[in-house]
Structure 1
Amino acid sequence: MADALLSASLQVLFYRLASAELINFIRAQKLSHELLTNFKRKLLVVHKALNDAEMKQFSDPLVKDWLVQVKDVVYHAEDLLDEIATDALRSQIEAADSQDSGTHQVWNWKKVSAWVKAPFASQSMESRVKGLISLLENIAQEKVELGLKEGEGEKLSPRSPSTSLVDESFVYGRNEIKEEMVKWLLSDKENATGNNIDVISIMGMGGSGKTTLAQLLYNHDRVKQHFHLKAWVCVSTEFFLIEEVTKSFLKEIGSETKSDDTLNLLQLKLKESVGNKKFLLVLDDVWDMKSLDWDGLRIPLLAAAEGSKIVVTSRSETAAKIMRAIRSHHLGTLSPEDSWSLFTKLAFPNGDSSAYPQLETIGREIVDKCQGLPLAVKALGSLLDSKADKREWEDILNSKTWHSQTDHEILPSFRLSYQHLSPPVKRCFAYCSIFAKDHEFDKKKLILLWMAEGLLHAGQRDERMEEVGESCFNELVAKSFFQKSITKESCFVIHDLIHDLAQHISGEFCVQLEQYKVQKITEMTRHFRYSNSDDDRMVVFQKFEAVGEAKHLRTFLDEKKYPYFGFYTLSKRVLQNILPKFKSLRVLSLCAYKITEVPDSIHNLTQLCYLDSWISPQHRFKDYLNQYVVYAICKQ
């Protein structure tokens, strides 16, 4: 996962290092282009070993530390390029000032120039690049010592192939949706596409029970009697392989195939086998599908009898859209009651918790942490089976999910989902670890945060950053990383276990303050989030002071909304002594605090692109802010 995140960051970094704008600026400033070329070569050497390191980090803590070092260098390189971009903008502003004689226009540009007034020293840039090259050389040497190999390395294995068999005694809370979908399967008049085949999709996050629901449908007595032919095909590969799917379908319905059969022969056999017969086909665990793949499977099946059905399970909406599903069901989580019933059946002898009152109390807390995800409930229930020691149950309750003994069951499920995200979306998702669990976030605000952090890039296409952000957000929704909030219709939430995944990816680069307890903060910390409370007037300075070690901080985020009774006044010590130190700050959220006086040292925050705070309308900072928004848009 670190590899996937780093690869996404490095792709953007390589693109920026090769950009015409950077090269032209280097030439104009008479800087060493060879130095940046050498830096890029060093990055490439490290990049080649990321795949191997990603797989080994879970068994070797030294490899994990190595990946953290690489990420830290990438952050420093991004900061450097952002500072160069700022200086390039300053040069453009000065050129515009000298050419434009219009008084009003010059005044506007001078206001913007006030924020980027300090020229970027070429000597500073060259010395910093040399420092990064030295770090990369050490990292490359450690790569050899750790035995990391270049190339593809190991890949995360897909989950084990599913079958149509199911133990219904371990299924809870799906009766209503099961009966509804059975009716759809048994209906021969549902078709709205004009073809003989109806497609029904079951979508949801990993571990939500999609396969189990499909198994229940497949084995239902009335469904068995309704269809002439039935086939269960577990796709479960990165790409939808039409030849393999067709062969599996033929084998399931008793039609023989040969190893040297061409796709044409396979399709002819399939058309003949299903001719004038009503079939049910389950395509389980479809990850990726293209229109041509669907046509390749669909066309031979048109010879089937009316009322034929295909049930597809997927973590993404893409397959359902391509297959033009007439019915799509987003599978939600289990209710607390159903989750507890499933847990007790697995964790307690004979499924009876009444004889273990102490364990029952702990068990209910464990189940609450699973947030209705069947996979997590099953994994933890099975783990605690036949264990009557209270301390063992407390260890599971207090451990972080991703570092517990259930890694082999829960973590790979979400790692697979993460691997199938596009590279830019991986970075955007990892950033979401800054939110607290159960935090309800607004789509537009999150996209603005992504923009301010420089996570969105249009690439070769002429797109607005908001459009790029919307595309990333929609992908995370479509693949079940984000879910609609139940309490606020316009907001979204992240399941706790998905949030754990984001934190696992971000590691020590993202730190949170919870109930005045701050996680370990180091120079590597880049993102900091806290929640204000009623007695913040007394502790706000300590909060800011606590992150003083994070010299390269990019995010200082206040998560709570404005208090009902008004704003707090921000301490002068924060504005004068702490904030100006964070020269790499991109996001500053002080939404519960009122700023009545802004020191001149605020100009040090030349990378700031997102400010959320109440500023006195009478204060001159309002003029700076209006012009600074122009600068931020130009930079993005």
Structure 2
Amino acid sequence: MAGVVVGGAFLSGFINVVLDRLISADAVNLVVGKKLSSDLVERLRNALTDAGALVDDAELKQLDNHDVKEWLNCLRDALYTADDLLDRACTKAATTKVTLLGRIFNSEDRQMENEIERVVRRIEDLEKRKGKLGLEKISTASFSWKTPSTSLEKGKVYGREDDQKALIKMLNDNNENHLSVISIVGMGGVGKTTLAQWMYNNAELMEGFDRKAWVCVSEKFNIVETTKNIVKEISINTQDLDSFNSIQDALKKGLSEKKFFIVLDDVWSNDHHQWKDFLAPFQYGVKGSTILLTTRKEDVGSVVQTNYHPHYLIPLSEDCCWSVFAANASFPESNGNPTLEGIGKKIAKKCDGLPLAAETLGCLCRRHDAKEWEKILRSDIWGYSTNDSKIVPALLISYFHLAAHLKRCFVYCALFPKDYVFNKDELILLWMAEDLLSLPKRGETLEEVGCKCFEELASRLFFKPAKYKFERFVMHDLLHDLAIFLAGDFYCRIEDLGEQEEKKVLTRHLSYFPRGSLGHSITKVFNFIAKSESLRTSLYIDDLFSMESVASKFIYLRVLSFHKLDVLPDSIGELIHLRYLNLSCCSINRLPESLCNLYNLQTLILYRCTKLTMLPRNMHNLVNLRHLELGKTCLEEMPGGISKLKHLHTLDFFVVGKHEDNKIQELGGLSNLHGSLELKKLENIVDVKEAENARMTNKNLIDKLYLEWSSGDDMVSNTKAERDIFDSLQPHNSMKELTIKGYKGTIFPDWLGNCSYNNMTSVSLKSCNNCCMLPSLGQLPSLKALRIQGFLHLKCVGMEFYKGIGDPSVHIAPPFPLLESLKCYNCPMLKGDMLHQVFMRIVSSSSDALKVRKLVIQSQAAQNLEIRECRNLESVSMSEAPHAALHRLIMSGCSKLVSFAGEGLAAPNLTHLNVSRCSKLEALPRDMNSLLPSTIAH
């Protein structure tokens, strides 16, 4: 096939994984107790190599040749089997304590050798069929599509001026109707959602609407879930909405006598009865209220409402498609390379007017190389057509240009339902567990490889950031369809199974994300999976299977997630292939010792297992463990020997023990820790040496640190020793967020607040009851959020708090230069005459510092200011300067506060004001009451 451009066939990456395992043939020989015949090992290597030479050709020909597709499926199935056998062999070799000399060749060894022999014959037989199928070894170019150094931004809307005018007119015409439904109708990838987003974010169009909401409905229309999502968009309080009646009633109240604009994106359902029930609360709005639908189906809008206005979105013109392509390729439309422009316009023409295809291909072509653009243009993929109209050839070509391991990573996302919002780090851990990533280069970690893979896919628009959700991502519907198409029968989401579905002989990856009531029995699901023992992935199927059934039937599992488990049985130790175990939010109160047999385990997630009080004593045997998430558990102490887990990348929680093998120094050898770390029971550190041996200053990849001394008697016999221990816990100066709770000393160490911590953005100090002075935080150049809480004996604040300690003649930068949020809670002894110094940049006093009880809010940077439980504060006022940044102001529990002056009040963006439990405060200023009548609590 001349002109084909591929980055390596999907199965090429899998074959490489199996070949890498085969390199460990010595381990295989050890397990079987005798030398595998060199002939068998060589035959397996040759069979894999010969089949690998054909997969590039086969991956393309499968698109229009069913026999070739079946050939690829058979090869893929054989590779799974080979990989499972070799992994079992390597695992047993690594964990056996019996030497080769002392082994007896037993029946299990003989069975494994026979199974390897069978899989070799299968692969050899497949290679022999190449002539009949017309498969040949082809020369494929491997390209390095460099990821742009800047993230892809949402560009302007191209070629939709007439559509925009039509939609504006439809919206204005709706003002005389009680409730109108506008529908944007078009094929996948044509830009319906983009146009809806333009309307939703157009301030001029949205002027006059009291309520707005955006909800993605997707193919499975669940009226309960959709209604609840709308309520969440328009209301802060969604608690106690546990029935459809309460949810609809809440929506009715939220929309009553309001003009609203609700977007329902990607609607498929044309069930009249469902829509009739769903629309009941929307009848209570005022004239001009509008529901905007985006849909691929013409009849959806007419079913929703008789007063219905469709707008059909046709594909873009060739010129507009070229503009979209050029913008995403970072190619100037004027004064660009004329040769590239000519090729690019031909590529854009092949996008058939679909902006999503033009965006994706444009991103693919950000490397301005004419030869590469030509190869994309000449690719035979353009000639492929499928009966499934959801698969766009322009997206297929983007997939075929991915490297082999990236293809596997992308297809793995077929396990998630459409519109699923996923976490980048979680997805990378799953890729690691499934051996989907390429091997790390020297000095590179698997996590770094995974991050590069994710960024590469995101840069090509295979993933996009989720709306309003930090560090969360989604897949476009069209790309999700493509992933499912390519995953075939090897991936299965239980909720998609039909009533008459045939048995899934090939299924290796299984997931279950139920929406609504449970509709699949255990027996039914087992019937679908003919070879359940070969299953590799089991995501969230706790509604269907018991843990005992999983451990007994799914012996080759690599990934296992449970969210509703009460007991983890001893049989978990039999799943020797397991790499990823997620038990977050489960009700388990203990973990069996057999868990420590899982030699291959990389990730163990116990987050929010609130009943868990201890870990197995032999945790140190999990030598390949890289991620141990323990946050929000109730562990009383750590098991001994955590320092032996040299590969630990994540350890977010550590309880300092009193025994020699679980003291703070166990952290000393863990030099690869990343992210956040919470240290509890620091009172168990008895001397400075122990603290020094933790080597906190060496952990430069930890950016969030939580230090807690347990509550109890605040009196300590040696406050200097307490301070010295704290001093020895000094973290690396790359730290970004620091929380200190329950410190028993009277003075903070000098490093806390040192200006060398130039990345520190957040500091929280809680319940440090013996401290009579605050640390020097004013010179932290990047500090944005500061919280001071529970300083029961703090009476005054000195100048050192904001200027630090040093030579007064030396020039010092203005304190708190970037501070946006300041919260001061429960400092009952702190008087107003010193309180103003706490807020030296945020508030200042105009009177004598020794007498006033007055607080003047002055800073232009503050966004969030909270003063709580400061009982001596008598007066608060706003300065005359406009506080453009101030959004939130809370005064609570200030029992002597008698005056809240509003003269000169100028906070145009103030959205939340709460003055509560201030019993002597008679009234707020008139101008403040008129400004915020709905947000004031008194």
After TM superposition, the score normalised by the length of structure 2 is: 0.38
Q: Is 2:484 the counterpart of 1:492?
A: no
- What's 2:588 paired with? 616
- What's 2:508 paired with? 526
Q: Is 2:607 the counterpart of 1:607?
A: no
- Counterpart among 121, 128, 136 of residue 149 in structure 1: 136
Letter in 2 for 1:525: T
Letter in 1 for 2:124: E
Question: How big is the shift at 1:142?
Answer: 2.4
CA contact (8 A) 1:26 1:32 kept: no
- What's 2:77 paired with? 72
- Counterpart among 48, 51, 58 of residue 56 in structure 2: 51
Q: Is 2:577 the counterpart of 1:594?
A: no
* CA–CA separation in structure 2 for the residues paired with 1:532 and 1:119: 45
Does the C-alpha gap of structure 1 residues 313 and 528 become closer, same or farther in structure 2, counting only changes over 3 Å? closer
- What's 2:495 paired with? 514
Does the C-alpha gap of structure 1 residues 11 and 209 become closer, same or farther in structure 2, counting only changes over 3 Å? farther
Give CA deviations for 1:375-404 in whole Å, capped at 9, x if unaligned: xxxx9xxxxxxxxxxxxxxxxxxxxx9842
* CA–CA separation in structure 1 for the residues paired with 2:134 and 2:325: 48
- Counterpart among 106, 116, 119 of residue 129 in structure 1: 116
* CA–CA separation in structure 1 for the residues paired with 2:106 and 2:588: 30
CA contact (8 A) 1:511 1:521 kept: no
Does the C-alpha gap of structure 1 residues 169 and 499 become closer, same or farther in structure 2, counting only changes over 3 Å? closer
Letter in 1 for 2:581: L
CA contact (8 A) 2:360 2:395 kept: no
6-15 vs 421-430, which moves further: 6-15
How many residues align? The count is 408
Letter in 2 for 1:606: I
- What's 1:347 paired with? none
- Counterpart among 545, 554, 558 of residue 582 in structure 1: 554
Does the C-alpha gap of structure 1 residues 515 and 37 become closer, same or farther in structure 2, counting only changes over 3 Å? closer
Does the C-alpha gap of structure 1 residues 30 and 137 become closer, same or farther in structure 2, counting only changes over 3 Å? closer
* CA–CA separation in structure 2 for the residues paired with 1:629 and 1:209: 56
- What's 2:725 paired with? none
Q: Percent identity between the aligned chains?
A: 28
Question: How big is the shift at 1:70?
Answer: 0.8
Does the C-alpha gap of structure 1 residues 545 and 476 become closer, same or farther in structure 2, counting only changes over 3 Å? same
Q: What SS does the corresponding residue of 1:404 show, helix, strand or coil? A: coil
CA contact (8 A) 2:325 2:362 kept: no
Does the C-alpha gap of structure 1 residues 597 and 554 become closer, same or farther in structure 2, counting only changes over 3 Å? closer
CA contact (8 A) 1:36 1:129 kept: no
* CA–CA separation in structure 1 for the residues paired with 2:481 and 2:367: 29
314-323 vs 419-428, which moves further: 314-323
- What's 2:450 paired with? 469
Q: Is 2:524 the counterpart of 1:554?
A: no
Question: How big is the shift at 1:498?
Answer: 0.7
Task: Look at both structures and tell me which one has the larger radius of gyration over its CA atoms.
Answer: 2
Does the C-alpha gap of structure 1 residues 285 and 422 become closer, same or farther in structure 2, counting only changes over 3 Å? same
* CA–CA separation in structure 2 for the residues paired with 1:556 and 1:218: 39
Letter in 1 for 2:393: P
Question: How big is the shift at 1:587?
Answer: 0.8
Letter in 1 for 2:567: T
Q: What SS does the corresponding residue of 1:438 show, helix, strand or coil? A: coil
Does the C-alpha gap of structure 1 residues 152 and 216 become closer, same or farther in structure 2, counting only changes over 3 Å? closer
Alignment of 1:384-533 (within 5 A): 403-404=386-387, 406=389, 411-514=392-495, 517=498, 520-532=502-514
CA contact (8 A) 1:46 1:136 kept: yes
Alignment of 1:352-371 (within 5 A): none
Larger helix share, 1 or 2: 1
Question: How big is the shift at 1:318?
Answer: 8.2
Q: What SS does the corresponding residue of 2:473 show, helix, strand or coil? A: strand
Does the C-alpha gap of structure 1 residues 143 and 318 become closer, same or farther in structure 2, counting only changes over 3 Å? closer
Q: Is 2:36 the counterpart of 1:39?
A: no
Alignment of 1:250-289 (within 5 A): none
Question: How big is the shift at 1:405?
Answer: 6.4
Question: How big is the shift at 1:441?
Answer: 0.5
Give CA deviations for 1:413-439 in whole Å, capped at 9, x if unaligned: 112211222222111111111111111
Question: How big is the shift at 1:601?
Answer: 3.1
Alignment of 1:193-212 (within 5 A): 212=319
Does the C-alpha gap of structure 1 residues 149 and 231 become closer, same or farther in structure 2, counting only changes over 3 Å? same
CA contact (8 A) 1:424 1:456 kept: yes
Q: Does 1 or 2 have the higher relative contact order (CA < 8 Å, sep 6+)?
A: 1
Question: How big is the shift at 1:553?
Answer: 0.3
Q: What SS does the corresponding residue of 2:494 show, helix, strand or coil? A: strand
Does the C-alpha gap of structure 1 residues 135 and 404 become closer, same or farther in structure 2, counting only changes over 3 Å? same
* CA–CA separation in structure 2 for the residues paired with 1:140 and 1:322: 39
Q: Is 2:19 the counterpart of 1:5?
A: no
Question: How big is the shift at 1:492?
Answer: 0.4
Q: Give the CA RMSD over aligned residues.
A: 4.7
Question: How big is the shift at 1:10?
Answer: 1.5
* CA–CA separation in structure 2 for the residues paired with 1:13 and 1:21: 15
Letter in 1 for 2:511: R
* CA–CA separation in structure 1 for the residues paired with 2:162 and 2:52: 45
Q: What SS does the corresponding residue of 2:546 show, helix, strand or coil? A: helix
Question: How big is the shift at 1:558?
Answer: 1.7
Q: Is 2:87 the counterpart of 1:138?
A: no
CA contact (8 A) 1:66 1:139 kept: yes
Q: What SS does the corresponding residue of 1:139 show, helix, strand or coil? A: helix
Letter in 1 for 2:556: S
* CA–CA separation in structure 2 for the residues paired with 1:476 and 1:514: 27
* CA–CA separation in structure 1 for the residues paired with 2:458 and 2:425: 14
Alignment of 1:322-361 (within 5 A): none
* CA–CA separation in structure 2 for the residues paired with 1:422 and 1:463: 19
Alignment of 1:295-314 (within 5 A): none
Letter in 1 for 2:129: E
* CA–CA separation in structure 1 for the residues paired with 2:315 and 2:520: 44
Question: How big is the shift at 1:472?
Answer: 0.7
- What's 1:291 paired with? none
* CA–CA separation in structure 2 for the residues paired with 1:123 and 1:217: 61
* CA–CA separation in structure 2 for the residues paired with 1:491 and 1:595: 29
* CA–CA separation in structure 2 for the residues paired with 1:429 and 1:581: 28
* CA–CA separation in structure 2 for the residues paired with 1:456 and 1:208: 37
Question: How big is the shift at 1:514?
Answer: 1.6
- Counterpart among 89, 93, 112 of residue 84 in structure 1: 89
Question: How big is the shift at 1:455?
Answer: 1.4
* CA–CA separation in structure 2 for the residues paired with 1:596 and 1:218: 54
Q: What SS does the corresponding residue of 2:504 show, helix, strand or coil? A: coil
* CA–CA separation in structure 1 for the residues paired with 2:411 and 2:140: 23
Question: How big is the shift at 1:52?
Answer: 2.7
CA contact (8 A) 1:597 1:619 kept: yes
- What stretches of structure 1 of length at least 5 have no aligned partner? 96-117, 156-166, 178-206, 220-226, 236-244, 250-281, 287-311, 324-378, 380-400, 560-567
